[in-house]
Structure 1
Amino acid sequence: MYTTTPDGTTIAYNVKGEGQLLILLAGQANNHHWWDGIRDDFHTGRATLTMDYRGTGESDKPDMAYSTELFACDVIAVLDNLGVDRADVYGTSMGGRVAQQLAARYPQRVRSLVLGCTSPGGPHGFERGNEVRRSLAQADQGAARHALLELMYTPEWLAAHPGPYQTLGDPAIPAHARRHHLTASGTHDAWDLLPDISAPTFVVHGSDDLLNPAANASVLAQRIPGAELHIIPGARHAYFEEFRTTASRLVLDFLTTATDGEIS
């Protein structure tokens, strides 16, 4: 399905399942396929919504400045098109940054919030180390891809799961959109917004995440009123896929408890 944002951009989205809506927001420069491996975990009495960020998938790819706030506005356009007043939101990586903007700026639209492997950004966020940056910036694209895989998953999981992988970026994203996604994520700074988040919030992170250091989880949980925190031992950036049995159950239990007795 498609909708058009106030600035005229077409956004592609997909809804599966029935029940209370859970919005699943993917990582930087990724399309809705980010969630393919685990999406069905959440179809226990609820529907899921995934979308292609502007610049990815079947959405328009305007050559303009992108931001996590703009991506949040695109989510609102999708909800308006569906006629949905409120939804649960689960954002991972850059999707977690978008989810922060969404919950802080549109509190009446977010019923509960899950922030996975993400960061507040800005001077209060913990950045990846220089060694990680160098590994991803290698001129040899094969070596850079391998470095990213090792940041996403443990060696044991990679040995048992040779791919294909849906978390390494939209293979068809144009160069200008990739740059704009990088800027959007890199310039995110929600520090002043986080105390305004009123939705029940669950922060989850892998203990061994070097792509987005796990220290960011504690910062978010301390800054957001009443937020709960869970660190998954041994997990890297793609904890939600490799450790799906643990992670999906944690998220579902939180969503159920956070909205227990509430009328949708």
Structure 2
Amino acid sequence: MSVFSQDGVSLYFELRGNGPRLVFHPGTLSDLRVHPTVFDSPLARHFEILSFDPRGIGQSNSPDASPTMFDYAQDLKRLMEHIGWQDALFIGESFGGMVLQEFALLYPQAVQRLVLIVTSSGGPGGASFPLHKYDIEAMNVEEKVNFFISAGDSRMPSSNNEQIETALYTPLRNYYKQVCEISINKPEGALCRSRQLQARKGHDTFERLPELRVGTLICGGRYDRIAPFENQKALFQQINESRLGIFEGGHHVLWQDTLIWGFILSFLKLT
């Protein structure tokens, strides 16, 4: 177990593998104890990967009452300095993609290449699904699971998910059930999760994105309700040196369309 602490923030992180340096910033409520993670992906065979639980999530803490995307970007910068990384390749999924937009604008010299997966710019480019408007913490585990599943994939109805094709529904149910159950054991978890959702609500990089001068790959899921295609298109149009790929999946497209890994790997290995 590796933990980095500074100014009251403690971040649980994992560093594994060999090869070029790659940072993977996970999405909303992601917890490295819940699989699959980036370390279960094909990328694990090609890179030295740094991933972590963002402040307040999983085994990390969140002492600030109102953290912003700037704070999350600063957390990553300090963590990189702690392990001695000056630059790296970057992948951000969902909430992680929002943080990495902010990070890349603040620290362009640190970003070799950038991959944004199922994320949004906010502002005129469109916000992601407004999770902050729902009283998620008042739901029981089954209600939370079905809420996240239906919110993230247009192939899922809002009820009777058991009738959906097992190969599609079961992995999503297993993942979210683990996330929801493991979070119960964290006394301050509800407050920390609420803080993350509020930071997500305030995210808006749209007008600044043309300032990015780093090769960027944008990946979306065809059935994603949380970060729909229109949001991916807006990112693509706003970031000058960008490419866009849409794949067969919802918000969990990384684990639903195997073609996406080869697409990402090819982009990261470009010189």
Do the two structures share a fold, i.e. TM-score over 0.5?
yes
Partner of 1:255: 268
Q: Name the CA distance, whole Å, in 2 between partners of 1:73 and 1:138.
A: 27
Preserved contact between residue 31 and residue 179 of structure 2 (Cα < 8 Å): no
Partner of 2:174: 164
Preserved contact between residue 11 and residue 53 of structure 2 (Cα < 8 Å): yes
Aligned CA distance change for structure 1 residues 49 and 25 (closer, same or farther; 3 Å): same
Structure 2, unaligned stretches of length 5 or more?
Answer: 156-163
Shift in Å, 1:152: 3.7
Shift in Å, 1:211: 1.8
Preserved contact between residue 88 and residue 110 of structure 2 (Cα < 8 Å): yes
Q: Name the CA distance, whole Å, in 1 between partners of 2:132 and 2:59.
A: 30
TM-score (norm. length: structure 1): 0.85
What letter is aligned with 1:26?
P
2:41 pairs with 1:26: no
Q: Please, what is the CA RMSD of the aligned residues?
A: 2.6
2:251 pairs with 1:241: no
Q: Name the CA distance, whole Å, in 1 between partners of 2:255 and 2:179.
A: 13
Q: How does 1:135-150 map to 2 (within 5 A)?
A: 140-141=139-140, 142-150=142-150
Q: Name the CA distance, whole Å, in 2 between partners of 1:71 and 1:117.
A: 18
Preserved contact between residue 54 and residue 61 of structure 1 (Cα < 8 Å): yes
Partner of 2:196: 181
Structure 1, unaligned stretches of length 5 or more?
Answer: none
- Give identity over the alignment, percent: 26
What letter is aligned with 2:31?
N
Partner of 2:97: 96
2:124 pairs with 1:110: no
2:236 pairs with 1:221: yes
Preserved contact between residue 119 and residue 128 of structure 2 (Cα < 8 Å): no
Shift in Å, 1:143: 3.1
Preserved contact between residue 4 and residue 12 of structure 2 (Cα < 8 Å): yes
Preserved contact between residue 207 and residue 236 of structure 1 (Cα < 8 Å): yes
Q: Name the CA distance, whole Å, in 2 between partners of 1:35 and 1:113.
A: 23
Tell me which stretches of 4 or more aligned residues in structure 1 moved more than 4 Å. Answer: 132-140, 166-170
Q: How does 1:122-133 map to 2 (within 5 A)?
A: 122-128=123-129
What letter is aligned with 2:252?
A
Preserved contact between residue 136 and residue 144 of structure 1 (Cα < 8 Å): no
Shift in Å, 1:43: 2.1
Shift in Å, 1:207: 1.1
Give CA-to-partner distance per residue, 1:77-127, whole Å, 9 cap, x none: 111011111111100111100010111110011110000000001243155
**Is the partner of 2:213 in helix, strand or coil?**
coil
